[in-house]
Structure 1
Amino acid sequence: MEAATRVIAKEGIAAATIRRIAEEAGVPGGLVHYWFANKDALLQEVLAADLNPIQNAVATATEAGDGLLEQLRAAFRVIEQDDRGRQITPYEMTTWALRKPEFAHLAREQYASYRQFGTEGMSAWVAATNARLPAETPVAGQFIAALFDGLVLAWLADPENTDVDAVLRLACDLMAPFAPNSPESPGTS
C-alpha cells in the first residue's frame, strides 16, 4: 500500500499499475496479487489508509478536551506536514474513479468515509458541548466533511491565498451558537 501511495503521489494514478506498484515495493507482481485481488481492491485500501493519520490527530485532540476548532486544526496540520503529492492523490483517485463506471463506487465509498468521519466528529462535539443543531448531526458532519475537503483542495491549488485558519475559525463561529458549552462559543474561555 505504501508503494502504491508513492507511485500515485509521484507519477499519478494512471501509472499505478500492479506491475509498477510491485516494482516500487521491490516485490514480484504475484505477491501484490496475493494480497489484493486487483487494482480496485488495492485502491480501496489506499483510500481508507489516507484517513487514518487525520482520524488519529482528531482523536488525540478530542481526548485532550480540545474543542472543534482545535480538532480541525489538528486535522489540517496532518495535511500541511504531509507530502503534497500524497495529498493530491485522493482527489486524483476521485476523478479517475468517476470517469470509469466500474470504479465509480470507489469515489462514493471515499466520500462516504469522509461523511462518516465528519459525522463521528460532530457526534463527539455534540456530546461534549450539549449542542443543539438545527439539523441532524449527520448533516452537520456532512457540512464539516465538505468544508474540510474543499479547504484542502483550495489550499493545494493556492496555498498563499487560502487562509486556512480563518476559514476554520469562521466554521466554528457558525457552529458555536448551537453549542453553549463549547470552548468556541462566544463568552466562554
Structure 2
Amino acid sequence: MAESRRAHVPIEQRRRELTETAVTVMAREGAWALTTRALAKEAGVPHGSVHYAFSSKDELMRSVMRLDLTHLSDLVQTQQDRPIHGPEDVAAAVADLFAAYADSVMANPDKETAYFELSLMAARDERLRDLVVQSQQEYRRIMVALFNDLAERAGLRWETDVVLVVEQALTLLFGAALSWLEQRDDALFRAVLEDGADMVGRRLV
C-alpha cells in the first residue's frame, strides 16, 4: 500500500527526492558508489522507479550536479540586493559569499567531498567529464553575472576580463575548500577566503 501511494508522487517531486537521496549515498559511501540499484535501495523504491524518473545514469548525474548549482545560485542571490557603493562593498559581498560557502562545506563535509570526487572521476570518464564541464561552465556563468552586477553597481570595472577574475576566484574558493577537507583548519580556511575576497575587490578600477 505504501508503494502504491508513492506511485502517485509527481514526477518532478520524485526526481528531486531521488536526487537528494543520490547525494546522501555519495556522501556516505563515495561518489563511485552511486548506482541506480544503490539509489533504489536507499530510497526504498523498486529499481524500475529510478529508471522511470531518470532515463539514464547520465541524466541522474546531471540532476545531482544541478542540485549543487542550485545551492550556489541560492548563495549568490543573497548578495544581489545589498547596497554597493565602491570596491570595499564589492569585497564585502564576495567575502560574505565565500563565508557562506565555507559554512556549507564545514556543515556537510562528506557531501562536498563527494562533489570533488565526481570531478576527479571525470578525469578518467569521458562521458562524466562532459557533464562536469557543463556544470563548471554554469558555475562560471552564475559568478560572471554576479561579478558584472557588483562592478556595475559600484560604478567601476574589472581591470581585466571578468571571466579571468571569476576563474581565479573559483580556483581560490574550491582550492581552499579542498585544503580544509584535508586539514580541517577552520581559521586558515576562513582567513584564506577573507584575504581572497579582499584581492578580488582590489581588481576594480
Q: Tell me whether the two structures share a fold, i.e. TM-score over 0.5.
A: yes
Asked whether the equivalents of residues 98 and 104 of structure 1 are also in contact (C-alpha less than 8 Å), the reply is yes
User: Which of 102, 113, 118 does residue 76 from structure 1 map onto?
Assistant: 102
**How far apart are the structure 2 equivalents of 1:69 and 1:9?**
27
Name the counterpart of 1:22. Answer: 40
Structure exhibiting the larger radius of gyration computed from Cα positions: 2
Q: CA deviation at 1:140?
A: 1.2
Asked whether the equivalents of residues 95 and 193 of structure 2 are also in contact (C-alpha less than 8 Å), the reply is yes
Q: CA deviation at 1:161?
A: 6.9
**How far apart are the structure 2 equivalents of 1:97 and 1:178?**
32
Asked whether the equivalents of residues 53 and 78 of structure 1 are also in contact (C-alpha less than 8 Å), the reply is no
User: Which stretch of the first structure deviates more once superposed, 124-133 or 23-32?
Assistant: 124-133
Name the counterpart of 1:183. Answer: none
Name the counterpart of 1:47. Answer: 65
Asked whether the equivalents of residues 75 and 100 of structure 2 are also in contact (C-alpha less than 8 Å), the reply is yes
Highest RCO, 1 vs 2 (Cα 8 Å, sep ≥ 6): 2
**How far apart are the structure 2 equivalents of 1:110 and 1:162?**
29
**How far apart are the structure 1 equivalents of 2:32 and 2:204?**
45
For the aligned residue pairs, the C-alpha RMSD in angstroms reads: 1.9
Asked whether the equivalents of residues 95 and 198 of structure 2 are also in contact (C-alpha less than 8 Å), the reply is no
Question: Number of matched residues?
Answer: 179
**How far apart are the structure 2 equivalents of 1:14 and 1:176?**
39
Task: Structure 2 unaligned segments of length 5 or more: list them.
Answer: 1-18, 84-91
**How far apart are the structure 2 equivalents of 1:117 and 1:21?**
30
State the TM-score, normalized to the length of structure 1.
0.85
Q: 1:14 to 1:139 in 2, by over 3 A?
A: same
How many percent identity over aligned positions? 25
Task: Structure 1 unaligned segments of length 5 or more: list them.
Answer: 181-189
Q: Deviations along 1:126-178, whole A, 9 cap, x unmatched?
A: 12222322212122111111111111111111122761222122223223334
Q: CA deviation at 1:3?
A: 1.2
Asked whether the equivalents of residues 26 and 33 of structure 2 are also in contact (C-alpha less than 8 Å), the reply is yes
**How far apart are the structure 2 equivalents of 1:109 and 1:45?**
12
Asked whether the equivalents of residues 36 and 57 of structure 2 are also in contact (C-alpha less than 8 Å), the reply is yes
